[in-house]
């Protein structure tokens, strides 16, 4: 049962949009997220039967079917994302389907939140924060990487990309770090007209950006 009083980690942040329209930030709250650990060769069909999504076995890729996606996190580890409210049932069904040794299914919906970065300059904003090559030749639609921005571990997922809308990045970040990363991304977007965002914790952002510049 979903508690009607629940608050997302970035409930205090309104979506922001650069005056130029080239960068927008918004939280994607309450997305269902589950960590699935299993052996691809043995369990791929079982995972697909429950989720409807084919298990991606190529490193740093994702697979999507309908509103559900599986993100590769490691050779035996994936993150399943699904619409709000589906986590409990998926967790139960996946646990029933994955019975072999070295399998694990954990609902981490409340542990992470998602910051969606859209706009034509999305790649340039992220390029100021991470050391990943974000050129479209290397970082195409569906790619997902775990990496480091300043002192924060996060997942960067290029969920969608089209000529009309530009890249749609989802940055999946731990709840306790969400406000810091939100402000860090806004700071990185200042060059493209993003409004400044003051960190709730009062930490300096400029230093974190210079470290990776």
Partner 1 sequence: MFLIPCPYCGTRDQSEFAYGGQAHVARPEDPASLSDAEWAEFVFFRDNPKGLFAERWNHASGCRRWFNVLRSTASDRIYAAYEIGTPPPAIEGDGPATPSGEVVGSGNDAVKLVKTADEGTRP
Q: Which one, 53 or 144, has the nearer CB to partner 1?
A: 144
- The residues of the shown chain that bind partner 1, judged by CB under 8 A, are 59-60, 73-75, 77, 131-132, 145-148, 153
User: Residue 89 Cβ, how far from partner 1 at the closest point, in Å?
Assistant: 28
Q: Which one, 146 or 193, has the nearer CB to partner 1?
A: 146
Identify the CA nearest to 141 among candidates 161, 165, 122.
Answer: 161
Q: Which one, 67 or 133, has the nearer CB to partner 1?
A: 133
User: Residue 178 Cβ, how far from partner 1 at the closest point, in Å?
Assistant: 17
The single-letter DSSP state of residue 70 is: E
User: Residue 86 Cβ, how far from partner 1 at the closest point, in Å?
Assistant: 26
Q: Which one, 11 or 59, has the nearer CB to partner 1?
A: 59
Identify the CA nearest to 122 among candidates 15, 27, 18, 211.
Answer: 18
Cα-based distances in Å from 138 to 11, 22, 78, 165: 34, 22, 21, 19
Tokens at residue 129, please? 């924060």
């Amino acid at each position: 049962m979903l508690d009607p009083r629940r608050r997302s980690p970035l409930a205090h942040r309104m979506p922001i949009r650069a005056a130029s329209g080239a960068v927008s930030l918004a939280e994607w709250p309450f997305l269902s997220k589950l960590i699935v650990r299993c052996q691809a060769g043995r369990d791929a069909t079982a995972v697909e039967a429950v989720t409807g999504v084919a298990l991606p076995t190529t490193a740093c890729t994702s697979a999507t079917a309908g509103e559900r996606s599986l993100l590769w996190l490691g050779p035996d580890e994936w993150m399943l994302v699904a619409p709000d409210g589906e986590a409990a049932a998926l967790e139960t069904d996946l646990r029933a389907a994955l019975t072999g040794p070295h399998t694990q299914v954990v609902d981490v919906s409340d542990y992470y939140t998602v910051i969606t970065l859209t706009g034509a300059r999305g790649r340039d904003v992220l390029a100021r924060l991470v050391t990943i090559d974000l050129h479209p030749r290397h970082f195409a639609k569906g790619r997902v990487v775990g990496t480091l921005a300043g002192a924060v571990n996060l997942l960067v997922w290029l969920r969608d990309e089209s000529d009309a809308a530009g890249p749609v990045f989802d940055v999946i970040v731990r709840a306790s770090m969400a406000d810091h990363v939100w402000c860090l991304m806004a700071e990185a977007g200042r060059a493209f007209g993003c409004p400044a965002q003051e960190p709730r914790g009062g930490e300096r952002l400029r230093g974190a950006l210079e470290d990776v510049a």
